């Protein structure tokens, strides 16, 4: 009973911590011009008038589209790189696990601004020799999300007996791709989901690296817009927060196909957000 | 692929392990293991933990690479064939069902990979699950099945691809005793029915003796003795086998002229050419009997009963002879009067005995 009360209080406190600022932002973004003027959605409607936010993707415009594309590419690329590597290490190089883990946690210990210093010459070189599209930020973002994705996937892989399952599949005639796709992936689906949720959230909220490497992603555009039109900038910020939240909730339902029961969906949601929070506070 | 093609006529094939060697960073897991299994035979590899049983199985399955030696299945050298091409069914010690599939889907999985058509697949999966007595549970997931049921599904899954060889690595060790004995007998029944050459690994001697056509007792990476269960038990070839299989009394004595004198009794030796000198004789409890005459005057074989354990037709009596305790296995009719505290005089049947390895003789003699 006491635990129950404690939980409720924690939930309310945490909720207030997140919702009060967002509420305040929403309030600000719907203020009219001048005193006593009625609430207005003018700022929200104006979002669509800013090509640097929503226009077609060109090298120097459309932060929203760019950030969405970056989020999608980054989370997929991270999974494609990380899952086979982690499975392989578990199966064949178990002694390297500690090493791989500490390497993957490194980006957490290095401030983003320091990362930028390291990235700068590489991006200069890439811009000249390869491509200067904003989507090249993916490379930096993969490194940025690595610790979070690693943690999420590690928890998922720890929950199944990777070695026995893959050996069982191999003895039944499965090659490595089949082992991956049909045995490992289906059994770590919630971990895959957690990893992508974290990647998406991180990329959508990323400012430091994009700004310093001079790529106008969503957050960079919001900040620059704030200088000329604070109302619209705040409206975009709230919208992107809501969007990210909606996306997370939506994604967490993707993994639960129609054949699973509601109870399992609920269980998974709790699991997802429980794990997200702990991953985020590390 | 060929194994999955036919439906009837599953006949076992010969399996040969030749001089298999495998080292792990300083540990010799297999030290020249040789084993030939006749078609359709069930061989149990028995040995203490760490003697290399699992390694032998994994080399045969292709899950581990040999440092030396050959694996020959049905006359074909498969030493360099990867695990997924070896046509080997495997049941693991750990529960290994794919958690996201039902029992049925688990059994179908291997057949799918062998391009068995959907209708045929479903029928055969149903048959296999029936064979292991799980027809009522075909649509359950692993977490809805008991440990014993999961291992039955694993057996059905392994056999569904009609493997050339079936490998079982301590498949019963996670189960409780009653389920273990029943499933053991069931594995044997199924194996006889399908006729697949089978290697069954266990550290439980009772299991090995109960299930196998032949038992291979392993020690330190090699097979010390390979033979039918009765031979392994009643005529152990080495002291290790004698001590590992069944119970053995270790009695100090003196070897002289092809015999060993133990506590006033001269016993013949399995190996009469043993050098003279002090030695430890290994005497089975069955060879220890009650002396015929009633006089109980103090002597090397006179002592006090400590405990009597009723085993059914026989009883095991522990007797304190003063300096050591010995085990005697007697017909229960003879043992009923032997309550704790009874003074008894024992005798030894003149069965040939083995002498324990030197290093132990010197420490305990
Ligand atoms: N992957 C491994 N890495 C290092 N040592 C191993 C490995 N597998 C087995 N061993 C060692 O090889 C020996 C035999 O192991 P194993 O075949 O598993 O024995 P058993 O199955 O009879 O208990 C043991 O000493 C074990 O520690
Ligand atoms: Mg083992």
What is the token pair recorded at A68?
A: 């969405």
Which numbered ligand comes closest to the C-alpha of B45?
A: 1
Predicted local confidence at residue A265, as pLDDT: 44
Instruction: Identify all chain B residues contacting A168, using CB atoms and an 8 Å cutoff.
Output: 90, 92, 96, 98, 154, 157
Is residue B58 pLDDT above 90, yes or no?
yes
Is residue B7 pLDDT above 60, yes or no?
no
Predicted local confidence at residue B77, as pLDDT: 96
Which of the listed residues B20, B22, B50, B51 should we mutate to test ligand 1's pocket, taking the one with most ligand atoms within 8 A of CB? B50
CB B91 within 8 A of CB B169: yes
Average confidence (pLDDT) over A73-91 = 94
Per-residue pLDDT tens for B65-116? 999 999 999 999 999 999 999 999 999 999 999 999 999 999 999 999 999 9
Q: Give, using CA atoms, the residue closest to atom 3 of ligand 1.
A: B24
Query: Given phi > 0 = left and psi -120 to 50 = alpha, else beta, which region is B289?
Result: beta
Instruction: Identify all chain B residues contacting A187, using CB atoms and an 8 Å cutoff.
Output: 98-100
Q: Are residue B226 and residue B280 in the same domain, yes or no?
A: no
Q: Are residue B49 and residue B184 in the same domain, yes or no?
A: yes
Q: Are residue B176 and residue B192 in the same domain, yes or no?
A: yes
Extended beta strands in chain A, E state: none
Q: Are residue B191 and residue B296 in the same domain, yes or no?
A: no
Q: Are residue B206 and residue B276 in the same domain, yes or no?
A: no
Q: Quick check: is B51 in a domain?
A: yes
Distance separating alpha carbons of residues A185 and A264, to the nearest angstrom: 18
Is residue B327 pLDDT above 80, yes or no?
yes
Q: Are residue B137 and residue B172 in the same domain, yes or no?
A: yes
Of A170, A174, A182, which has the smallest distance from its Cβ to B63's Cβ? A170
Residue B333 neighbours by CB under 8 Å, 6+ apart: none
Of B89, B100, B114, which has the smallest distance from its Cβ to A171's Cβ? B89
Q: Are residue B281 and residue B208 in the same domain, yes or no?
A: no
Predicted local confidence at residue B10, as pLDDT: 57
Instruction: Identify all chain B residues contacting A161, using CB atoms and an 8 Å cutoff.
Output: 94-96
Work out whether strand B265-268 and strand B314-320 pair parallel, antiparallel, or are unpaired: unpaired
Rg (CA), chain A: 22
Centroid of ligand 2 to alpha carbon of B94 (angstroms): 11
Q: Quick check: is B205 in a domain?
A: yes
Of B82, B92, B100, which has the smallest distance from its Cβ to A187's Cβ? B100
Q: Give, using CA atoms, the residue closest to atom 20 of ligand 1.
A: B50
State the residue range of the domain holding B133. Answer: 3-239
What is the token pair recorded at A13?
A: 């406190």
Interface contact B161-A173, CB threshold 8 A: yes
pLDDT band of residue A243 (cuts 50, 70, 90) is confident
Per-residue pLDDT tens for B237-294? 888 998 898 888 999 999 988 889 999 889 999 888 888 889 899 998 989 988 766 6
Centroid of ligand 2 to alpha carbon of B169 (angstroms): 7
Per-residue pLDDT tens for A143-183? 999 999 999 999 999 999 999 999 999 999 999 999 999 99
Per-residue pLDDT tens for A45-58? 888 777 767 665 55
Q: Quick check: is B262 in a domain?
A: yes
Q: Which of B239, B274, B298 is the last residue of a domain?
A: B239
Predicted local confidence at residue B85, as pLDDT: 94
Per-residue pLDDT tens for A84-140? 999 999 998 988 989 988 998 898 898 888 988 988 998 888 888 888 888 888 999
Is residue A257 pLDDT above 90, yes or no?
no
Is residue B54 pLDDT above 80, yes or no?
yes
Distance separating alpha carbons of residues B251 and B239, to the nearest angstrom: 13
Measured in angstroms, the CA of A169 and the nearest CA of chain B are apart by 8
Predicted local confidence at residue B197, as pLDDT: 96
Q: Are residue B164 and residue B265 in the same domain, yes or no?
A: no
Distance separating alpha carbons of residues A1 and A107, to the nearest angstrom: 41
Distance separating alpha carbons of residues B336 and B351, to the nearest angstrom: 25
Q: Are residue B200 and residue B172 in the same domain, yes or no?
A: yes
pLDDT band of residue B189 (cuts 50, 70, 90) is very high
Q: Quick check: is B347 in a domain?
A: yes
Is residue B196 pLDDT above 90, yes or no?
yes
Predicted local confidence at residue B357, as pLDDT: 65
Query: Given phi > 0 = left and psi -120 to 50 = alpha, else beta, which region is A62?
Result: left
- Ligand 1 atom nearest to CA at B57: 17
Distance separating alpha carbons of residues B45 and B203, to the nearest angstrom: 8
Residue B108: name the closest of B151, B163, B156, B146 by CA: B156
CB A179 within 8 A of CB A169: yes
For the CA atoms of A31, A33, A39, A43, the dihedral, rounded to the nearest 10 degrees, stands at -70
Q: Quick check: is B365 in a domain?
A: no
- Ligand 1 atom nearest to CA at B221: 14
A207-216, A263-272, B349-358 — which is least confidently predicted? A263-272
Predicted local confidence at residue B43, as pLDDT: 97
Q: Give, using CA atoms, the residue closest to atom 4 of ligand 1.
A: B24
Average confidence (pLDDT) over B23-38 = 94
Per-residue pLDDT tens for A179-238? 999 999 999 998 998 899 889 889 988 888 888 888 888 888 888 888 888 888 888 888
Q: Which residues line ligand 1 (CB under 6 A)?
A: B 24-25, 27, 29, 47, 49-55
Instruction: Identify all chain A residues contacting B98, using CB atoms and an 8 Å cutoff.
Output: 165, 168-169, 183, 186-187
Predicted local confidence at residue A61, as pLDDT: 54
Instruction: Identify all chain A residues contacting B110, using CB atoms and an 8 Å cutoff.
Output: 172-173
Q: Quick check: is B363 in a domain?
A: no
Distance separating alpha carbons of residues A171 and B361, to the nearest angstrom: 46
Predicted local confidence at residue B139, as pLDDT: 94
Work out whether strand B214-219 and strand B42-46 pair parallel, antiparallel, or are unpaired: parallel
Residue B326: name the closest of B264, B260, B282 by CA: B282
Q: Quick check: is B95 in a domain?
A: yes
Q: Are residue B234 and residue B253 in the same domain, yes or no?
A: no
Please report the domains of chain A, with CATH numbers, ordered by start residue.
Answer: 52-231 (1.10.3720.10)
Average confidence (pLDDT) over A254-269 = 46
Per the structure, how many domains does chain B have?
2
What is the average pLDDT score of chain B?
89
Q: Which of B186, B218, B239 is the last residue of a domain?
A: B239
Interface contact A172-B86, CB threshold 8 A: no
Residue A165: name the closest of B109, B309, B331 by CA: B109
- Ligand 1 atom nearest to CA at B22: 12
Distance separating alpha carbons of residues A277 and A274, to the nearest angstrom: 5
Rg (CA), chain B: 25
Distance separating alpha carbons of residues A226 and A224, to the nearest angstrom: 5
Distance separating alpha carbons of residues B219 and B50, to the nearest angstrom: 9
Q: Quick check: is B364 in a domain?
A: no
- Ligand 1 atom nearest to CA at B51: 22
| Residue contacts between A and B (CB atoms, under 8 Å) | 64
Of B95, B110, B167, which has the smallest distance from its Cβ to A172's Cβ? B110
Q: Are residue B326 and residue B229 in the same domain, yes or no?
A: no
Q: Are residue B328 and residue B212 in the same domain, yes or no?
A: no
Is residue B3 pLDDT above 70, yes or no?
no
Residue B208 neighbours by CB under 8 Å, 6+ apart: B44, B45, B46, B200, B202, B215, B229
Residue B91: name the closest of B159, B200, B171 by CA: B171
Predicted local confidence at residue A241, as pLDDT: 83
The better pLDDT of the pair B359, B356 is held by B356
CATH number assigned to the domain comprising residue B162: 3.40.50.300
Q: Which of B201, B221, B239 is the last residue of a domain?
A: B239
Average confidence (pLDDT) over B322-351 = 88
CATH number assigned to the domain comprising residue B334: 2.40.50.100
Predicted local confidence at residue A55, as pLDDT: 61
Interface contact A170-B154, CB threshold 8 A: no
Predicted local confidence at residue B164, as pLDDT: 94
């Amino acid at each position: 009973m006491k635990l129950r009360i404690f939980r409720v209080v924690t939930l309310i406190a945490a909720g207030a911590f997140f919702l009060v600022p967002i509420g305040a932002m929403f309030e600000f973004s719907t203020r009219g011009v001048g005193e006593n003027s009625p609430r207005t959605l003018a700022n929200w409607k104006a979002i669509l008038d800013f090509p640097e936010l929503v226009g077609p993707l060109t090298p120097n415009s459309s932060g929203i589209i760019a950030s969405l594309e970056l989020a999608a590419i980054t989370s997929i690329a991270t999974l494609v790189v990380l899952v086979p590597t982690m499975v392989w290490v578990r199966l064949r190089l178990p002694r390297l696990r500690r090493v791989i883990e500490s390497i993957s946690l490194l980006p957490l210990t290095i401030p983003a601004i320091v990362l930028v210093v390291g990235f700068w010459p590489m991006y200069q070189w890439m811009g000249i020799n390869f491509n200067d599209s904003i989507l090249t930020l993916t490379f930096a973002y993969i490194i940025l999300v690595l610790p979070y994705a690693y943690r999420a996937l590690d928890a998922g892989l720890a929950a199944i007996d990777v070695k026995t399952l893959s050996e069982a599949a191999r003895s039944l005639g499965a090659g490595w791709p089949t082992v991956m796709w049909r045995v490992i992936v289906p059994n770590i689906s919630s971990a895959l989901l957690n990893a992508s949720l974290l990647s998406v959230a991180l990329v959508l909220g990323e400012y430091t690296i994009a700004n310093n490497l001079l790529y106008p992603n969503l957050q960079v555009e919001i900040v620059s817009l704030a200088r000329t039109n604070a109302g619209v900038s705040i409206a975009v910020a709230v919208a992107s927060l809501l969007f990210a939240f909606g996306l997370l909730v939506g994604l967490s339902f993707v993994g639960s196909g129609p054949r699973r029961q509601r109870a399992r969906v609920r269980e998974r949601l709790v699991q997802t957000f429980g794990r997200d929070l702990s991953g985020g506070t590390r | 692929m060929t194994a999955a093609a036919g439906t009837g006529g599953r006949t076992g094939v010969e399996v040969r392990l030749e001089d298999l060697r495998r080292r792990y960073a300083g540990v010799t897991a297999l030290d020249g293991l040789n084993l030939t299994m006749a078609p359709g035979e069930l061989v149990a590899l028995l040995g203490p933990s760490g003697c290399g049983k699992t390694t032998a199985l994994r080399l045969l399955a292709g899950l581990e690479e040999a440092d030396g030696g050959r694996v020959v299945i049905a006359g074909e050298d498969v030493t360099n064939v990867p695990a997924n091409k070896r046509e080997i069914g495997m049941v693991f010690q750990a529960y290994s069902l794919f958690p996201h599939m039902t029992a049925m889907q688990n059994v179908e999985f291997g057949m799918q990979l062998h391009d068995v058509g959907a209708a045929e697949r479903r029928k055969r999966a149903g048959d296999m699950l029936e064979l292991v007595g799980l027809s009522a549970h075909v649509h359950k997931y692993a977490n809805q099945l008991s440990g014993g049921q999961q291992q039955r599904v694993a057996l059905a899954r392994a056999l569904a691809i009609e493997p050339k060889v079936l490998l079982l690595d301590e498949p019963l060790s996670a189960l409780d005793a009653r389920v273990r004995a029943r499933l053991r007998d069931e594995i044997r029944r199924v194996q006889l029915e399908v006729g697949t050459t089978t290697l069954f690994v266990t550290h439980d001697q009772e299991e090995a003796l109960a299930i196998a056509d032949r038992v291979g007792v392993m020690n330190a990476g090699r097979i010390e003795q390979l033979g039918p269960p009765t031979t392994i038990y009643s005529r152990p070839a080495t002291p290790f086998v004698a001590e590992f299989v069944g119970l053995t009394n270790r009695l100090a004595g003196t070897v002289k002229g092809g015999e060993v004198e133990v506590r006033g009794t001269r016993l013949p030796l399995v190996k009469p050419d043993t050098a003279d000198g002090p030695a430890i004789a290994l005497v089975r409890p069955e060879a220890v009997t009650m002396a015929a005459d009633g006089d109980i005057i103090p002597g090397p074989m006179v002592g006090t009963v400590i405990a009597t354990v009723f085993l059914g037709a026989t009883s095991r009596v522990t007797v304190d002879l003063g300096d050591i305790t010995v085990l005697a296995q007697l017909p229960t009719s003879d043992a009923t009067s032997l309550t704790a505290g009874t003074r008894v005089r024992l005798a030894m049947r003149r069965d040939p005995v083995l002498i324990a390895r030197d290093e132990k003789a010197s420490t305990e003699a």
